[in-house]
Chains A and B, each alone.
Chain A
Amino acid sequence: MVGNNRKMSSSIKKMDRNPVADETARAADAPPLPAEAQDRIGRHLQQIYGQLLSEPMPDKFAKLLSDLAKSETDKEPEPKE
């Protein structure tokens, strides 16, 4: 209880000066999810992200890179060679 109050008052003080610390303090006030819930979320996350990753890639991207490599335009000046 005492610890919580200390955290709260320090986060109120810091709000005036340091938004990053405030955000961190606020996160500290919110307890992390239990491991089981975190795992479940992690699995779902990886599933939806995995579906995005495995979408077929249109040709235009490989083509773009190949065109860029061939044209050699707009290359930033290199320090050596």
Chain B
Amino acid sequence: MTGQSPDLELQTGLVALTPNLRAFARTLCGAPDQADDLVQEALVKAWKHRNSFEPGSNLKAWLFTILRNAYLSERRKRKYEVSDPDGVMAEQLSVKGEQSGHMDLIDFAKSFGQLPTEQREALILIGAEGFSYEEAAEMCGCAVGTIKSRVNRARVRLAELTGIRDGSEIGEETVSTVNSR
């Protein structure tokens, strides 16, 4: 039996997931300051409503839903832009990053920032955070088919913008791929 109180356990869980919250918030609103404000807002809300979290259920999903709702209500008040037109995400990434494939990654980040928010969100939930389609649909309050549609359209658009589709993207993958036509 754990000697920790549920509150302490939750607090530990929240600290552990804050990097994910920050990354997801950046996905939603791009600018680091806005993202961090969102995360703080979400943590306060999560703590306030901690009794509605069912221990043993998916804490990350619960937290992400809180963050997402906070983002949407801020957006309704027109505080945030819908996408990332200034390539804020790409700017941040260009500070670090490995040498090989470096330009591709910046290009990818810029293209990613141009996607509509709901496509970025769906793609991250499925392709980066590893949620199932069912989980993502529940978190986003929509049908599974809608998530699938958003993910697919995001991928197609990314492939077009970055030249992955027509093979014009330069990178170590292209060199090593023998089977490409």
Residues of A within 8 A of B (CB): 20-21, 23-24, 26-27, 30, 32-33, 36-38, 40-49, 51-55, 57-58, 60-62, 64-66, 68-69, 74-79
Contact = CB atoms under 8 A, between A and B. Distances in A.
A52 B22 contact: yes
Nearest to A44: B108
B79 interface: no
Interface in B38-93: 39-40, 43-44, 47-52, 89, 93
A27 B149 contact: yes
Contacts of B138: none
A75 B145 contact: no
> When A and B form their complex, which 10 residue pairs have the shortest distance between CB atoms, in order from nearest?
A27-B149, A24-B145, A52-B23, A49-B128, A44-B108, A68-B47, A78-B51, A61-B18, A53-B23, A20-B143
A75 B20 CA distance: 24
A76 B48 contact: yes
B28 to A, nearest CB: 12
B43 A64 contact: yes
B115 to A, nearest CB: 11
A52 B26 contact: yes
B142 A41 contact: no
A20 B23 contact: no
Contact of A46 (B97, B104, B109, B128): B128
Contacts of A51: 93, 96-97
Contacts of B23: 49, 52-53, 55
B139 interface: no
B40, B51, B179, most chain A CB atoms within 10 A: B51
Contact of B15 (A45, A47, A58, A61): A61
A27 B145 contact: yes
A65 B112 contact: no
12 contacts: A20-B145, A24-B143, A27-B149, A27-B152, A37-B155, A38-B155, A41-B159, A47-B105, A54-B19, A57-B19, A61-B40, A65-B47
Contacts of A74: 48
A58 B50 CA distance: 23
